[in-house]
Structure 1
Amino acid sequence: MRDWAVRAARVLVLPMVAGAAGQAHAGGFGLREQSSYYQGTAFAGTAAGGDGLASMFWNPAAISFTPGLSVEGNVTYIAPHASLDVYSATAPITGASLGTTGASDIVGNGVLPTTYISYAWEKWAVGFAVTSPFGLVTDAPCNFSGRYYGCYNRIFDMNVQASVAYKVNEWLTIGGGLNVNYIDAKLTNAQFAGFTSPLNNLYAEVNGDDLGVGFNLGVLFTLAPGTTLGIGYKSSIDQNLSGNLNLSVANITTVNQVAASAGLTLPDQVTASFRSQLTPQWTVLGTVEWTNWSTVQQLVVTSRGIPVSTLDLKWNDGWFFSGGVEYQWDPKLALRAGIAYELTPVPDETRSPRLPDTNRLWLSGGFTYNFTPQFSFDFAYSHIFGENSPINLSASDPANALRGSLVGEVNDGYVDIVSVGLRYKFGAPVTAALITK
């Protein structure tokens, strides 16, 4: 059993380079699904440590929680759904009606893998992670009535995180590190081609990528045996995406292609979490998270220094609140459940088919089964209920002068998420770096 477990763990923790292809689930175009272990509590307790190595994603000080060398690999399947009803849509300039053809199931399914490695000894700990903090795929047909506001859109993201932690004393651990982030984006929409609403629109496609660098900081307080409070900070990352702007007929025959670029600031984030073992069986957990999505006000695409397209976004800050419990059924099996509510950063007045983000309610459950003291299996399932929210885009906004107007509603939004993970501890010392139970 030991040899098989080691081989399985080694396979799962190879660096995974695939990003998520699906609707974002952390407000905006963020992805929260970085851990099977914490998904079981609706991500309550993420920054407060625990057996899940993924805590380092939110708080680098938490890598000291598990002594010795440990590895973890997770794979999460995300199956979202959202429809867009159109009540009215008009062409730019002429104001001609574009009809009320909506779009159903405009967000795609996807798979998100993550990898974590940590080593803790005496007062020091180091950690390494490969994750996908951001991502998006929306796919509306380019003949629907809101086609000037978006058709197919994709954001691929991969982040490599290296962190170090130092245990100052029995109750305080500090940590910090570096994040290197790669992002690749593709945005498409129909392009108005004349004063008469065309049956065969031009097709506009902007694509670009960039590599950016940020940092992470964290602190972990051990308030009592089995009770921890963690606070983690991830810095903003400035990305300057460089690529091309293509215009084509029906996405087949290119009529123009120019170099293009767009600046984007990925938001900084603060996560505060606690976990407290009330009895040998019961542990309660909680998280409050703030994301500075208000850094995203406009997306301006330029070519040779001249703006060629502007998206007015005017996003607000994002907030996430969650609470959860863990029950240790026996030494091998731990059960988890959690509930969360998230406030979207996308205001009603700028919501678009590109990113139909709404407020959402999370319900989650999961378990860990320990095959041996070293080898564990995590499973989690979440269902997200999305709120119905309006779309009200006006041609009176100068940024929409060549897009016309669009009035509608995002509805029937929900997500099913299934996640599995494996964790292995290689020869952990008897004395833990932090007391957990």
Structure 2
Amino acid sequence: MNKTRILKRSLLAAAVLASTSQAHAAGFQLNAQSATGIGRAFAGDAVIADNASSMARNPATMALFDKTSLSLGFEAIITDISTKDAQALTPDGYVPVAGGNYDDIGGTSIAPNIHLIVPVNDKFAWGINAYSNFGTSTDFSDSDFYDNNGPGAAFGGETDILSMNIGLAGSYRLNEQWSFGAGLDIIYGKGTIRRGLPEPLNGLVGSDNIVNVQDADGWGVGFNVGTVYELNENNRFGLSYRYSPEITAKDDHGQEITLPLPDMAEFSGYHRITDTAFAVHYSVQWIGWSAFDKLDMDNLSQGCVPDLSSGAPSCSSSYSAEYAWQDGWHFAIGGTWYLNDSVTLRTGYMHDTSAQDQITSTSVPDSDRNWLSAGATYHFSNDSNMDFGITYLIGADEDVNESDILLVTTRADAILVGLQYSHSF
């Protein structure tokens, strides 16, 4: 294989990865609605309704409240991300590369949340909330291989995506069994995406970066609907659906990235065993990652997608990449022990399937994940309590092939910690 062919394939891989990692970063789902949910791996969260945060998973649960209820808290996301066994394509084939093993990619992010439910009468309730559904952060800037014009600069760089969901919802209780709810979501997204070019390609195209979008932001509007069916006070089911919009984010230089976000549907059940202090609860959630059929980038000015087809370096101001993503699933089961009037204990397990399929990414690793969760509530009174939850999120080794240019094994683990105060008035 000659050097010209390697050069062209390197540029193609860099262009594809610039899109791939952006899509995955924007679409990385956060479960950051409540510390209570973290403590049970979000098993049953669309129906349990033990504090106001339940409206984020199913607006119909607001009908289960007979007092004004407020919950506010935060989630700390501590990620441990690494790469190993990196091999790069050369004229002599794939060879191990120095600096390809890197374990300082993750970091710590804080995601706050607040939820308020206000019953109007025994039929109607309304609520407002603010939290995050999507976000991620990886930074390779301290790696001389994956950044700083190193050989893998196109596959690392920096990805920092955050979102905020501002919701307004209402619920209606039809009878003793059925309740319904619907809500409007105003979603704000902000992010930085930077992908470098290795030496000597950066000099060839006149830029150190393929893409360099800094602090781009944009807005979108979505909605959610749900229902709750109560067999009795100890057994109930919840079903909800959330439509997520497509967001166009623009930075100060007019560069645009259009991000399609996935829709979500969830079914939950809750069953308290009669005459005991124990309840079991579960959830199945579908996430429509297949909405990522393509990702569009326009008005690229600081670093753009190189094209050598004309025989001389040139840059296009727009780029569109195709994808083969798959829908994701969460399967969660948990248990709650109502120990006494002051203390409630909970635990849970979730299996979370990967969104990536044919296209994989070094910059934001993905794989099937397992959640091990535990939490507790301390009740100061009947109307006031504090929740704590912790989850160990276990990823798996994933073999990544970056367009036949770089072979590497990635892994992403995380610890989620949540604290939340709730009060009824």
What band does the TM-score fall into relative to the shorter chain?
A: 0.7 to 0.9
1:366 paired residue among 360, 364, 375: 375
Is 1:284 matched up with 2:292? no
Q: What pairs with 1:286-435 in structure 2 (closer than 5 Å)?
A: 286-303=282-299, 308-347=318-357, 349-394=358-403, 405-411=405-411, 413-426=412-425
Do the aligned partners of residues 339 and 82 (structure 1) sit closer, same or farther apart at CA in structure 2, a change above 3 Å counting?
same
Give me the whole-angstrom Cα distance separating, in 1, the residues matched to 2:195 and 2:203: 15
Do the aligned partners of residues 235 and 161 (structure 1) sit closer, same or farther apart at CA in structure 2, a change above 3 Å counting?
same
1:99 paired residue among 97, 100, 120: 97
Answer yes or no: is the 8 Å Cα contact 1:324–1:337 preserved in 2: yes
Q: What pairs with 1:212-223 in structure 2 (closer than 5 Å)?
A: 212-223=220-231
The C-alpha deviation readout for 1:161-218, integer Å capped at 9, x for no partner, is 00000000100000001000000121111125646999x9713412421110011100
Q: Which moved more, 1:356-365 or 1:189-198?
A: 189-198
1:64 Cα deviation from its structure 2 partner: 1.6
Do the aligned partners of residues 25 and 312 (structure 1) sit closer, same or farther apart at CA in structure 2, a change above 3 Å counting?
closer
Equivalent position of 2:258 in the other structure:
263
Answer yes or no: is the 8 Å Cα contact 2:297–2:319 preserved in 1: yes
Give me the whole-angstrom Cα distance separating, in 2, the residues matched to 1:194 and 1:239: 35
Is 1:45 matched up with 2:44? yes
Q: Which moved more, 1:270-279 or 1:164-173?
A: 270-279
Answer yes or no: is the 8 Å Cα contact 1:151–1:353 preserved in 2: no
Secondary structure of 2:154's counterpart equals helix
Equivalent position of 1:205 in the other structure:
212
Secondary structure of 1:56's counterpart equals helix
Question: What is the number of equivalent residue pairs in this alignment?
Answer: 377
Equivalent position of 1:149 in the other structure:
155
1:307 Cα deviation from its structure 2 partner: 5.2
Is 1:71 matched up with 2:79? no
Secondary structure of 2:373's counterpart equals strand
The C-alpha deviation readout for 1:85-107, integer Å capped at 9, x for no partner, is 2521248x999979342221312
Answer yes or no: is the 8 Å Cα contact 2:28–2:136 preserved in 1: yes
The C-alpha deviation readout for 1:136-174, integer Å capped at 9, x for no partner, is 101113531422123111101111000000000100000
Secondary structure of 1:68's counterpart equals coil
Secondary structure of 1:48's counterpart equals coil
Give me the whole-angstrom Cα distance separating, in 2, the residues matched to 1:169 and 1:303: 54
Secondary structure of 2:254's counterpart equals strand
Answer yes or no: is the 8 Å Cα contact 1:217–1:233 preserved in 2: yes
Answer yes or no: is the 8 Å Cα contact 1:28–1:357 preserved in 2: no
Do the aligned partners of residues 46 and 268 (structure 1) sit closer, same or farther apart at CA in structure 2, a change above 3 Å counting?
same
Equivalent position of 1:135 in the other structure:
135
Answer yes or no: is the 8 Å Cα contact 1:317–1:345 preserved in 2: yes
Give me the whole-angstrom Cα distance separating, in 2, the residues matched to 1:40 and 1:153: 28
Is 1:119 matched up with 2:129? no
Give me the whole-angstrom Cα distance separating, in 2, the residues matched to 1:105 and 1:66: 45
Do the aligned partners of residues 66 and 293 (structure 1) sit closer, same or farther apart at CA in structure 2, a change above 3 Å counting?
same
Q: What amino acid maps onto 1:74 in structure 2?
A: G
Equivalent position of 2:232 in the other structure:
224
Q: CA RMSD in A?
A: 2.8
Give me the whole-angstrom Cα distance separating, in 2, the residues matched to 1:196 and 1:421: 48
Q: What amino acid maps onto 1:289 in structure 2?
A: Q
Do the aligned partners of residues 26 and 228 (structure 1) sit closer, same or farther apart at CA in structure 2, a change above 3 Å counting?
farther
Secondary structure of 1:37's counterpart equals helix
The C-alpha deviation readout for 1:394-430, integer Å capped at 9, x for no partner, is 25xxxxxxxxx1110113x32112111110000xxxx
Give me the whole-angstrom Cα distance separating, in 2, the residues matched to 1:150 and 1:172: 50
